[in-house]
A and B are shown apart, each in its own frame.
Chain A
C-alpha cells in the first residue's frame, strides 16, 4: 500500500491565484481530513470528510473548499490564495472510530 499520498510537494502561488492540492489514500479509510501546520505550531483542522459525498468544516475553513466524490480522493481547493495561507498542508485518513490517523508527506505552499 502507498498509504496517503499528496501532490505537489512544493508550490508557490501569487496572491489571487487558485489551485488544488491533491490527496489520495489506498487503505479504504472512511475518514479523511486536511490540516495546516504553521511554523512552530500544531495542526489545525481545515475540512474533513466521514465518507464519500460527506464533508464538513473544521477550525479554519475560510478560503478553502473540499469535495469527496470517491473514497480514495479528497482534494483541497484554494479559491483565491492569500499570503496568510502560506503553510504546510497535511492530508490524513483513518478508518471509522477513534483511531490513529495516517498522514501524507505534506505540501509546502508559499503565497507571495
Chain B
C-alpha cells in the first residue's frame, strides 16, 4: 500500500547539536520528496526537496539524503537552533496523474537551550 512513516515521533536535541530526522516510504513510484516544517499554529512550510535521481541535496543548514534501495529519507539540520523546534513532515509525490502527495505522520523536534 501507499505509506510514508517516521521512525521517531519525537526528537530532543541540545542547541548547537546536529539533528537527524528519519522517514521511511513504501511507494516505488514516488518521484519526488519534500520535507516540510510546521510550527505551532501554522501551516506546513517547505524546507527542501529532492528528486528520485539524486541521493543528496543541501540547503542552508539542512541536508536531505535519499536511499532508494531501502526506501529511506532523512533530514539533517546542522547546529540546531531554538527556532528549529517544530514538527517535521516528509512527503512523497507519486509519479502519477495529479502528482498525489502522501504525508508522513511527522516528528516533533524539541531544541533544548
Contact = CB atoms under 8 A, between A and B. Distances in A.
B42 A105 contact: yes
A75 interface: no
Interface string B58-96: 000000000000000000000000000000010001010
Interface residues of B, number: 24
Contacts of B4: 42
Contact of A98 (B42, B45, B95, B105): B95
A20 B39 CA distance: 26
A13 interface: no
Interface residues of A, number: 24
Given A41-B105, A98-B93, A105 B99 contact: no
Interface of B: 4, 9, 31-32, 34, 36, 41-46, 49, 89, 93, 95, 98-101, 103-106
